[in-house]
Amino acid sequence: MSGSPGGASRAERWAGDGLWVTFEGGDGVGKSTQVALLEEWLAAGGRTVVRTREPGGTPVGELIRDIVLHHRGHIAPRAEALLYAADRAHHVAEFVVPALERGEVVLQDRYLDSSVAYQGAGRVLDAEQVRGLSLWAAGGILPNLTVLLDLDPAVARARIDGDDRPFDRLEAEREEFHVRVREAFLGLAAAEPDRFLVLDASLPPERLAELVRARVESEIAALG
The answer to whether residue 7 sits within a structural domain is no
Mean pLDDT of the chain: 92
Closest CA to 88 of 141, 37, 44: 141
Contact 116, 127 (CB under 8 A): yes
The answer to whether residue 1 sits within a structural domain is no
The answer to whether residue 6 sits within a structural domain is no
The answer to whether residue 2 sits within a structural domain is no
pLDDT at 181: 95
DSSP-derived letter for residue 134 is H
The H or E element containing residue 153 is: helix 153-162
Contact 61, 108 (CB under 8 A): no
pLDDT at 2: 41
Total domains, the chain: 1
In degrees and rounded to multiples of 5, residue 154 shows phi and psi of: -65, -40
What pLDDT, in 10s, does the model give residues 185-201?
Answer: 999 999 999 999 999 99
| 109: Cα within 13 Å, side-chain hemisphere | 20
**What is the block-wise mean pLDDT of the chain (224 residues), using blocks of 10 residues?**
49 94 96 98 97 97 94 92 97 98 98 96 95 97 98 91 70 86 97 98 98 97 86
d(CA 151, CA 52): 23
The answer to whether residue 208 sits within a structural domain is yes
User: What pTM did the predictor assign?
Assistant: 0.92
CA 173 and chain centroid, separation: 19
d(CA 175, CA 171): 10
| CATH code, domain with 164 | 3.40.50.300
Q: Which domain holds residue 166?
A: 12-223
d(CA 145, CA 103): 16
The answer to whether residue 159 sits within a structural domain is yes
The answer to whether residue 5 sits within a structural domain is no
